[in-house]
Amino acid sequence: MSSTGRSAAGSEAGVGVTTEGLVALTGTVRAGQEAVEGWLAEHTVDLVQWRRHIHANPELSRTEFATTEFVSSWLTKAGLSWEPLPGGTGLICDIGPDGPRIGLRADMDALPLQEFTGLSFASTVPGVSHACGHDAHTAMLLGTALALADVDLPVGVRLVFQPAEEVMPGGAIDVVATGAMEGVERIFALHCDPRLEVGRVGVRVGAITSAADTVELVLDSPGGHTSRPHLTSDLVYAIGTVITGLPGLLSRRIDPRTSTVMVWGAVSAGKAPNAIPQTGMLTGTVRTGDHATWSLLEPMVREIVDGLLAPTGVRYQLNYKRGVPPVVNDEQSTRMFEDAIRTTGPDALADTLQSGGGEDFSWYLEEIPGAMARLGVWSGVGEQLDIHQPTFDLDERALAVGVRVLSNIVLQAGR
């Protein structure tokens, strides 16, 4: 049983494939669908156990050696060939006929976060947990590989088990650098979403995530006594000017329809109430939902900071770290996702809002078209436990839904 008390293989409406959906498909696609359903009937318990094993043994970015070994061992048992990615974490695996391929991607890394779920299969690694659902992503892609291994596929598939999504620069850049996207026409991914009920999958055309950059501002001044600020450069006042001025001016320089937001996350300076400190630091993030705006942000931030600090006399160093571009779903790939989702149930397809979070799946879409969708993992009962929180958990019935959707993308690609 999942932690929600619901069976992972549950048969509630909207969770399984409907007979009507199967009848509507062509004979070849229907045969593939039935093969996937047959695989799930025999192996959904395995699918859950894979997720629980990965969940209990999380590994941080670029250290996913055991997770890679776990995945590769199951692929080998199924008679599938795979290739390790440079660095020894992550792998790619091709199945189906030669020629143009569809890419399916899952991320494998965990977060540096202590888990407080109380699950029987909770993380055994102190300070590390799968609080973003990557354990589920990996298990679903592995299940998709094995479910399709003996199916006569209409197109070839490249499975990408990617390391290091949670860091910048992320592992997607490394995958692209290997040439793994060569011969891949489109790429798809699912991401767990606790705002959607299990059995539902959300998609949208256009940006589904945001660009996420980091701003670090290090300031220094001669320091001095708080009774004589006119004899020095008031560093704390300068920090306050930037704290309010940068977000405010960005909101006046950038079209609000781009969903651009600047938020500070940390500030430090001084210890004594009567001493103007010599050093201080500000760190925060700048996010935007618009790809064109993303390219404008760094020079604009530098211009504004310089203008704000020039009158204060405080010296500074601005470290602007570009993160990831937005994940922008192209229309054709999104329609393919919609078709794949509809086949799993009459009420499976859902809308979804653009997220302010970043996702390095976007780097694949800088190379080729593709789309990401949101996989519902909320049980429908009780609190919706958000990702990147120590209490995050998911309804394990979503694992089979994910396998169905990913398989459907491949099986219906030749229609």
Quick check: is 11 in a domain?
Answer: no
Our count of domains for the chain comes to 2
Q: How many angstroms separate the Cα of 274 from the Cα of each of 85, 206, 220, 221?
A: 56, 52, 17, 16
Domain end point (choices 323, 344, 373): 323
**pLDDT value, residue 16:** 54
**pLDDT value, residue 26:** 72
Quick check: is 104 in a domain?
Answer: yes
Q: Are residues 233 and 192 in the same domain?
A: no
| CA 367/CA 413 separation, integer angstroms | 20
Question: What are the residues facing 186 on neighbouring strands?
Answer: 102
Q: Are residues 124 and 230 in the same domain?
A: no
CA 354, 360, 361, 367 torsion-angle sign: positive
CATH of the domain at 102: 3.40.630.10
Q: Are residues 317 and 335 in the same domain?
A: no
Quick check: is 9 in a domain?
Answer: no
Q: Are residues 196 and 298 in the same domain?
A: no
- For residue 70 the two structure tokens come to 């776990």
Q: Are residues 331 and 315 in the same domain?
A: no
Quick check: is 13 in a domain?
Answer: no
Hunting for tokens 């078209």 — which residue is that?
369
Q: Are residues 170 and 251 in the same domain?
A: no
Q: Are residues 38 and 116 in the same domain?
A: yes
Q: Are residues 27 and 110 in the same domain?
A: yes
Question: What are the residues facing 215 on neighbouring strands?
Answer: 284, 320
* Alpha-carbon radius of gyration of the chain: 24
Domain that residue 298 falls in? 211-323
Report the chain (415 residues): mean pLDDT per 10 consecutive residues.
Answer: 41 46 67 97 98 98 98 98 97 96 98 98 98 98 98 97 95 97 98 98 96 97 98 98 98 96 98 98 96 96 98 98 96 98 96 94 98 98 94 98 98 84
Q: Are residues 84 and 205 in the same domain?
A: yes
Q: Are residues 282 and 242 in the same domain?
A: yes
Hunting for tokens 């999504």 — which residue is that?
165
Quick check: is 6 in a domain?
Answer: no
- 200 closest CA partner among 24, 345, 5: 345
**pLDDT value, residue 25:** 60
Is the pTM above the cut of 0.95? no
Q: Are residues 190 and 219 in the same domain?
A: no
Q: How many angstroms separate the Cα of 379 from the Cα of each of 12, 191, 198, 394, 403?
A: 11, 16, 6, 7, 18
Q: What is the largest CA-CA distance in the chain?
A: 84
Domain end point (choices 323, 354, 379): 323
Quick check: is 336 in a domain?
Answer: yes
The two beta strands, 101-107 and 206-207, are unpaired
| CA 71/CA 163 separation, integer angstroms | 12
Using an 8 Å Cβ cutoff, are 398 and 121 in contact? no
Give, to the nearest 10 degrees, the angle between helix 397-411 and helix 27-56: 140
Quick check: is 38 in a domain?
Answer: yes
Residue 74, sorted as left (phi over 0), alpha (psi -120 to 50) or beta, turns out to be alpha
- For residue 61 the two structure tokens come to 């970015």
Quick check: is 306 in a domain?
Answer: yes
Q: Are residues 202 and 230 in the same domain?
A: no
CATH of the domain at 241: 3.30.70.360
Q: How many angstroms separate the Cα of 371 from the Cα of each of 178, 294, 332, 336?
A: 21, 19, 9, 9
Give the DSSP letter string of 77-123.
HTT---EEPTTSS-EEEEES-SSSEEEEEEE---BS-------TT--
Amino acid at 387: I
Domain end point (choices 296, 323, 350): 323
| CA 393/CA 233 separation, integer angstroms | 50
